[in-house]
Structure 1
Amino acid sequence: MNNNNVNMGYVIFLSLVAALGGFLFGYDTAVVSGTNQQVAKLFGLDEMQLGWYVGCALVGSIGGVSVAGILGDMFGRKRTMLFSAILFSLSAIGCAVSTDFTMLIVSRIFVGVGIGIVSIISPLYISEVAVAKYRGSLVSLYQFGVTVGMVGAYLVNHLLLNLAESGMATITDPASVSLFEKVFYTESWRGMLGMCAVPSVIFFIVIFFIPESPRWLILKRRDDSAQHILQRIYGSIQEAVSQLESTRQMVISEDSSKSGQWAYLFKPAIFKMVLIGSAIAILGQFMGVNAVLYYGPTIFEQSGLSGGDSLFYQVLVGLVNMITTIIALFIIDKVGRKKLVYWGVSGMILALLLIAFYFHNGEAMGISSIFLLVSFMFYIFCCAISICAVVFVLLSEMFPIRVRGLAMSIAGFSLWIGTYLIGQLTPWMLKNLTPEGTFLLFAAMCIPYMFIMWKLIPETTGRSLEEIEKMISE
């Protein structure tokens, strides 16, 4: 391949549009961290009900990820992303105007379905329009979008909390507040959740400016349309024809088995990779990252910080997550997927042990909460530069095109099962296992993840999707 002719500006544009789905993912998963205490107080929630408030979106995500691959394979990557944008918009509005806890839960389930869909389709789309040399960095733009969305959520939470505190002074009759005052002053959690409507509408609009995935078009025998898009990506008709022919031959080879999609998925070599992908997806959730992102302010408050300071600390954690993801964008295709995981997960184990030590003995030793903040930031740095950057890249490139959407949905289903369990159980674990025991458990779960990455997953850096498929199918 002649990379000098590649229209990288166009490829980056396509990737950034799809990565907006990651932004919405990040915002809607992180925004609940600033609303937990307000919602719990307003509706009188106990620990399990609070876990349900956080976890209900994850239930929706499980549903979304279950159908994402089927929708993406049936209707195309582009139209499936459009559908998710509609779900995000409806959910944001529904949360802002919820009249009771049930309506709030239903709205959060809607956003969960959207999150589940984009968690599969956005990185899949980027992977299928990217060139092999830069695929890791381009797919990591999705994870970068997730981290930017998280920082955006933390900042919105922090700013709206301050706005609410100042705005409350202007309210003379709490019984007759306007909708604006209710959303941004007296019940600012509504504004925190509702602000997602803005990027959701933007996402919906810009999707109309990108083409369908050329590899999906080839799979659907629409070669002329695929060649036109490939020619714009690779800058020459010769390279476009070469890429088209390579993908078409792989599709023909898969079709020669004359087996259905599910039967092909259960071929030993393919099914093995599905199990491995599912294993790293679910284990990654039990290493603690989402517990930190969902319940960070609550954890910081347990260390003695005020609500405002804990939200500010969470903003700092989110900024580290975003900045580290930028670093990962530039090194993932140079260092390699596996080496990043080895170094990053080793650092995560150390950070988790330091956090457990702080909760075990920090107060008695007079250790400042700054120690906890630094430990959290080090943990997020190690996590963002390794498993967070690598997992969606690997899942988007380790399955054959014929079952790529379906296989990613299965692996994604495992990921969201793990995420739901962490979201639901973290309040219980913090109370019954104590913060110390909770973070020791997260550290222990890093060990099997490292073993699987070492023994069972091949290095895919620098290989085309078709080369990876041949390597895995052998």
Structure 2
Amino acid sequence: MSNSSSTDPLGSSPSEGDQTLVGSTPTTKPQSKVMSREKRNAFMFAFVVAIGGFIFGLDIMLISGTFQYITVEFGLTALQKGNIAAGPGYGALVALLFAGFFCERFGRKATLLTIAALYTVSAIGSAWAPSYTSLFLFRLIGGLAFTSLSVAAMYIGEIAPPAMRGKLVGMNQLNIAIGILAASLFNFWIVNVAETAPAWATAISLNEGNVWRWMLGMETIPAILWFILLFFIPESPRWLMLNGKHEKAEKVLRRITPADEVEEELKQIEENLKDTTHTIGFVEQVKTLMSKRMRIAVLIGLFMGIVQPLTGMNAALAFMPSIFAQTGGAENAFWNTMLVSFIGMFFTLAALLVIDKLGRRIILLGGLAACAAAMGLIGYGFSTAVYQITPEALTYVSSSVDTSLLQPLVSQSFGGEIEFKQAVLDAVGKTSYDIIESDLLVHSVSMNATLVLVGIIAFVCSYNFSVGPVLWILFSEIFPTKVRALAITSCGFVTSVFGGVVVPNMFPWQIENFGSATTFLIYGTFCTLGLAVMAKYTPETKGKTIEEIEQELAAKSLKS
């Protein structure tokens, strides 16, 4: 089979080893300075697939800016706010039950196209939602698309050269960070536009009543763009081989693998698949995953799927403006959120630059230790807070509530937020409390807000540098081709149970019942426990092929 010379839709300039004639003398481009055509193709295909991470980042951060508006409009309770934040998590749980089947039956590419379509439907529906129930349902539909992270890790891991796999799979996490930053910028901008109310904004109904709809609707544009770009990527060569399409697999490999390495790559894949020429059944895949040779790989996948979300990142993202409001800084909540997102993005980029040099293990363990310390700092910051309603504070809420109801509380000192909030709630009722909560906190709390800000920045940077990207990189590396669809989506399911449902759903309830200090200290404890577990089991996988990693983990499992 010959190497295709046709132009690739996503990058196809001559390879770094291609010879060109200068006069009559052949010359070769320096391989150390020019990225080859094959590597460029692999990079571009991975980049397109990783756009799903950008949309995921948008989704989880855009919603964070809406809570102060939808809480008032729909009269949400703490558990209902948790449901809105966790709605995509519920959808992800449903989707992950079938994602492995779809990936194996229809291929990685078709599954990604379906995911992009679901993101589009969710964005449009959420922006037009007339009630809490409809908003929750459209958020749930968006969660069906959250499998993009698992499928992207699967796809990129299968097309990436071993020396680039860490960077390319980690690019998914970088795009998540960029999406989070983009959402923070948009939320900050749209809130300011709604407050200043220029004529053009009024003309398109961009006002405080519709702020949250514009926030959620913004996701539509990148979702449609991603759907279109996905038509230009090839199918995974390992999936093609698994389904007996050897000619197509070789053609794809020649687009992403140097010509002198294609035959060896094909042999390694064939050896890994042995006599399997088609997808093995679900029962056979389960038996393979339950076998002794897969013990350590499955253990690592499941523990990573639990450890990552229990650091508390999804709660921090979904409720970041609310967290900053808790410190008495509601007027700067969106600005601080944008600042944290901006700094966090650079630490994700830094991780991708060094992860194939330093390796996965040291970055993961160091990051978990730093996350634990950061959560401890945040918890300590909140523990120093003192709450007191002053006459000046009443002037800021006088237009929204009968301040005579709050007069009995004036000048009383409350040593904890639970006691303070309950006193205010009892005095004015839930409806009025939801309206004045942010303004009253700004002018009634005395604490070291800078300490909390520094702690959140440290946590987000540590997570983005380590736990965030390493999870998906390990998922893409530790499972063999025959069972990787089921294995990765199953581990993704575990991640979604904790990160998509448990953590964001419970966070408002935890704040309401335990207080901010205790809540963040709980997450710090989980970070510490995760560090202990992963230090024992996490291997180093940098620079190794998927097949080499499988053999190494199988050998360790059989010895244990």
Matches of 1:409 and 1:101, distance apart in 2: 30
1:235 deviates by 2.9
Q: Which residue of 2 aligns with 1:249?
A: 271
Return the letter of the residue paired with 2:71: A
SS of match in other structure, 2:384: helix
- In the alignment, does 2:167 pair up with 1:137? yes
Matches of 1:412 and 1:14, distance apart in 2: 22
Matches of 1:442 and 1:132, distance apart in 2: 34
Q: Which residue of 1 aligns with 2:531?
A: 450
Matches of 1:271 and 1:74, distance apart in 2: 26
Q: Which residue of 1 aligns with 2:220?
A: 197
Matches of 2:242 and 2:506, distance apart in 1: 41
- In structure 2, relative to structure 1, the CA distance for the partners of 1:320 and 1:45 (3 Å cut) is same
**Would you say the 8 A contact 1:223–1:244 is kept in 2?**
no
Moved more, 159-168 or 413-422: 159-168
Paired residues for 1:341-356 under 5 Å: 341-356=364-379
Runs of 4 or more above 3 Å deviation: 2-6, 168-171, 253-259, 362-368
- In the alignment, does 2:252 pair up with 1:229? yes
Q: Which residue of 2 aligns with 1:372?
A: 452
Of 486, 505, 529, the match for 1:424: 505
**Would you say the 8 A contact 1:282–1:416 is kept in 2?**
no
Paired residues for 1:45-124 under 5 Å: 45-115=76-146, 117-124=147-154
Q: Which residue of 2 aligns with 1:407?
A: 487
Return the letter of the residue paired with 1:266: M
Return the letter of the residue paired with 1:318: S
- In structure 2, relative to structure 1, the CA distance for the partners of 1:242 and 1:86 (3 Å cut) is same
Q: Is the helix fraction higher in 1 or 2?
A: 1
Q: Which residue of 2 aligns with 1:187?
A: 210
SS of match in other structure, 2:184: helix
SS of match in other structure, 1:286: helix
**Would you say the 8 A contact 2:234–2:252 is kept in 1?**
yes
- In the alignment, does 2:362 pair up with 1:339? yes
Map Cα deviations across residues 55-76 of structure 1 (whole Å, 9 max, x no partner): 1111011112222222111111
Map Cα deviations across residues 288-338 of structure 1 (whole Å, 9 max, x no partner): 1111111111111011012x4101111111112211000000111111111
1:271 deviates by 4.5
Matches of 2:168 and 2:369, distance apart in 1: 25
Map Cα deviations across residues 70-92 of structure 1 (whole Å, 9 max, x no partner): 21111111111000010011111
1:342 deviates by 1.9
1:362 deviates by 5.2
Map Cα deviations across residues 143-182 of structure 1 (whole Å, 9 max, x no partner): 00111111111111111111212228899xxxxx98x41x
- In the alignment, does 2:67 pair up with 1:36? yes
**Would you say the 8 A contact 1:88–1:111 is kept in 2?**
yes
Return the letter of the residue paired with 2:154: L
**Would you say the 8 A contact 1:69–1:120 is kept in 2?**
no
Map Cα deviations across residues 247-282 of structure 1 (whole Å, 9 max, x no partner): 011101668999822222221232442233112212
Return the letter of the residue paired with 1:240: V
SS of match in other structure, 1:260: helix
Runs (5+) with no aligned partner, structure 1: 172-176
Return the letter of the residue paired with 1:220: N
Matches of 1:260 and 1:380, distance apart in 2: 40
1:19 deviates by 0.6
SS of match in other structure, 2:361: helix
- In the alignment, does 2:194 pair up with 1:164? yes
1:426 deviates by 0.3
Matches of 2:196 and 2:325, distance apart in 1: 22
Matches of 1:288 and 1:254, distance apart in 2: 41
Runs (5+) with no aligned partner, structure 2: 1-16, 18-30, 387-414, 416-444, 556-560
Q: Report how many aligned residue pairs link the two structures.
A: 463
Of 344, 352, 355, the match for 1:321: 344
Of 50, 58, 62, the match for 1:19: 50
1:221 deviates by 1.1
TM-score scaled by length of structure 1: 0.93
**Would you say the 8 A contact 1:26–1:149 is kept in 2?**
yes
TM-score scaled by length of structure 2: 0.79
Q: Which residue of 2 aligns with 1:174?
A: none
Matches of 1:48 and 1:191, distance apart in 2: 24
**Would you say the 8 A contact 1:324–1:384 is kept in 2?**
yes
Return the letter of the residue paired with 1:416: S
Q: Which residue of 1 aligns with 2:518?
A: 437
Map Cα deviations across residues 197-249 of structure 1 (whole Å, 9 max, x no partner): 1000110011111100111111111111111111121231x411211111011
Q: Which residue of 2 aligns with 1:150?
A: 180
1:98 deviates by 1.6
Which has more radius of gyration?
2
Map Cα deviations across residues 326-374 of structure 1 (whole Å, 9 max, x no partner): 0000111111111001211111111111111111115599654222212
